Chain A
Amino acid sequence: MISANLAAIFYLVSGILFILALRGLSSPDTSRQGNYFGIAGMIIAIVVTFLSIGNFSTSLVYVIIFLIIGGAIGAFIAFKIPMTAMPELVAGFHSLVGLAAVFVAIAAFLNPAAFNLGNVGDIKLASLIEMSIGAAVGAITFSGSIIAFLKLRGIMSGAPITFSGQHILNLILGIGIFVLIFYLCKTQSTNIFWTVIIISFLVGVLLIIPIGGADMPVVISMLNSYSGWAAAGIGFTLENTALIITGALVGSSGAILSYIMCKAMNRSFVSVILGGFGADNSADDKKEKKDQKPVKSGNAEDAAFLMKNASSVIIVPGYGMAVAQAQHALREMVDKLKKNDIKVTYAIHPVAGRMPGHMNVLLAEANVPYDEVFELEDINNDFANSDVAFVIGANDVTNPVAKTDPKSPIFGMPVLDVEKCKSVLFVKRSLSPGYAGIDNELFYKDNTLMLFADAKKMTEDIVKNLD
């Protein structure tokens, strides 16, 4: 058994190791080392907890058994999961953190003496507020992440689910939670505590269902943030420095990512949360336009010819590439191009894919070196000097309308200037608009060649034609 002071110092050490873990991610070179810092921090935190309890009875054996069960499940998932499924995996993991926070709060409420928080029916006021906030945020994180998971997995439609009075209902439930917490503090009633948790579960569901598929990068980042605040809330309850530090880190990390994603879409955080985007009301108007304008379409042979004769090609991947699992075929295509001394780079929009950095991971998986992959600001000027832009599975992020039409819902969103390339190859299954529900002007430009096919199949065909 170690003293509480010594334990607190160790918890501080593990908190610092977590900071270093995030710091490592500033460059891929240092990132792996960062991850080891994170693991070390976690081991220290767990071992110190065992030592500070000093209860080495049979229950310790059970704890270790449960740890191993959970660890085995987690390890299994981590090794099995395909990289394309990262967004739903992360959403799923967020839900676990949320639920764990709820359960820890419940345990603390039912047995406050074990945590030095007072006795049943007479829990310290501050602790009671902290644990109920932790439980409420945890519950919202849990049910919200489940919905996000279902949407990303395709089990639930990605289309926004809206009904009238939705926001008012959310507001009432939100206020209700605070009122109930207030009464909980006065009465210490178990029933109110359970009600707070149940309402919070409901709020989590209601909060995420109106948000459409394309806004998922924001949702995931936001839930990431929530899981951090939930952890911090529990950290205050348990008076544990490691948890407070981690909670604050994760909370601000998620908040920053949400901000970056919103900015990349030129949408306010509030409008994303209120949801309904992509449900679209101007469908008729769109169809008319589509019928009128001519589109040039080509096949793999044309595409291969164009690229063979280019001296520089920029590849613009998007969610469609992930869905079609085309990253490996793409890499094969790029290898062939490079053999012909063609310069190939990748341009990634911040919201390409379903979570921040999604495309980078997929390209990394296909062995694309990370120094060939560029962010929007770094590469946008290069389009004008390049021969071919190969857009695969991206859509809205290339739409010039964002720069020209102030009436467009995506006006002001930073987009990749693909149209400045000498020619644009656009791999897409059909002319259907993207998630934003708007037509892409790029389809009708003279220098655009549409390649109507599944991204993977088309890329493979191009590879054949490059020989």
Chain B
Amino acid sequence: MEIDPFIFRSSIFILSIFIGYYVVWSVTPSLHTPLMSVTNAISSVIIVGAIIAALAGNSESIFNTSSFFGFIAIILAAINIFGGFLVTQRMLQMYKKKKDKKK
């Protein structure tokens, strides 16, 4: 009997929760704010769905309802991707060790 692909995806999902659990516990508390902004940025990988939706319409009717939502979602996710990664980068750039800059 064939295994339903849903089971495979659920397996990936559950294993990823475990990975997330251990990886996030090892994040140093001083970097919790960058952690939030970077998780924000990566969750915008939802843009993948937005692109599929946007490109689903054929060339003549680019802006039918379904792809319209896709296009808006692209903007929203793109704000998040660029904003999220850049602001994380900006924050991480500020974390310096004692000897690096001082004296």
Contacts and interface: CB of A to CB of B under 8 A. Distances in A.
A93 B17 contact: no
5 contacts: A18-B42, A25-B27, A63-B51, A224-B40, A243-B48
Nearest to B70: A107
A427 to B, nearest CB: 23
A6 interface: no
B69 to A, nearest CB: 4
A361 B33 contact: yes
A96 B73 CA distance: 9
Interface of B: 5-6, 9, 12-14, 16-17, 19-21, 23-59, 62, 64-67, 69-98, 100-102
Given A42-B45, A356-B32, A367 B79 contact: no
A53 B51 contact: yes
Contacts of A313: none
Q: Which of A70, A79, A108 gathers the greatest number of chain B CB atoms within 10 Å?
A: A70
Interface string A16-52: 0011011101111001101100110110011001100
Contact of B12 (A241, A253, A372): A241
B32 A243 contact: no
A234 interface: yes
A361 B28 CA distance: 13
Contacts of B39: 22, 224, 228, 249-250, 253-254
A251 B35 contact: no
Contacts of A11: 48
A236 B58 CA distance: 25
Top 3 closest A-B pairs, CB basis? Answer: A70-B78, A114-B56, A357-B32
A389 B14 CA distance: 46
A77 interface: yes
B37 to A, nearest CB: 6
Contacts, number: 379
Given A42-B44, A45-B45, A86-B33, 7 more contacts: A11-B48, A67-B78, A96-B77, A97-B80, A224-B36, A245-B16, A357-B36
B17 A248 contact: yes
Nearest to B27: A25
Given A49-B48, A357-B31, A96 B80 contact: yes
B52 A238 contact: yes
B82 A90 contact: no
Interface of A: 11, 14-15, 18-19, 21-23, 25-28, 31-32, 34-35, 38-39, 41-42, 45-46, 49-50, 53, 55, 57-60, 62-63, 66-75, 77-79, 81, 83, 86, 89-90, 93-94, 96-97, 99-101, 103-104, 106-108, 110-111, 113-115, 126, 220-221, 224, 227-228, 231-232, 234-254, 256-257, 260, 348, 350, 355-358, 360-361, 364-365, 367, 369-373, 375
Given A227-B40, A228-B39, A356-B32, A58 B77 contact: no
A246 B38 contact: no
B47 to A, nearest CB: 6
B32 A364 contact: no
Given A63-B55, A96-B80, A252-B21, A110 B65 contact: yes
Given A239-B9, A360-B31, A66 B48 contact: no
A69 B83 CA distance: 12
Contacts of B78: 66-71, 73-74
Given A26-B27, A74-B79, A74-B82, A62 B54 contact: yes
A115 B55 CA distance: 11
A242 B48 contact: yes
Main secondary structure of the interface of B (DSSP, over half): helix
A367 B41 CA distance: 25
A249 B56 contact: no
Contact of A57 (B43, B59, B75, B101): B59
B42 A250 contact: yes
B55 A66 contact: no
Contact of B91 (A42, A83, A104): A83
Nearest to B99: A369
Given A59-B55, A93-B80, A25 B38 contact: yes
Nearest to A52: B52
Contacts of A224: 36, 39-40
A250 B43 contact: yes
B29 A356 contact: yes
B41 A38 contact: yes
Contacts of A49: 48, 51-52
A18 B30 contact: no
Contact of A62 (B42, B48, B66, B71): B71
A97 B44 contact: yes
B53 A107 contact: yes
B46 A100 contact: yes
Contacts of A50: 51
B78 to A, nearest CB: 3
B68 to A, nearest CB: 8
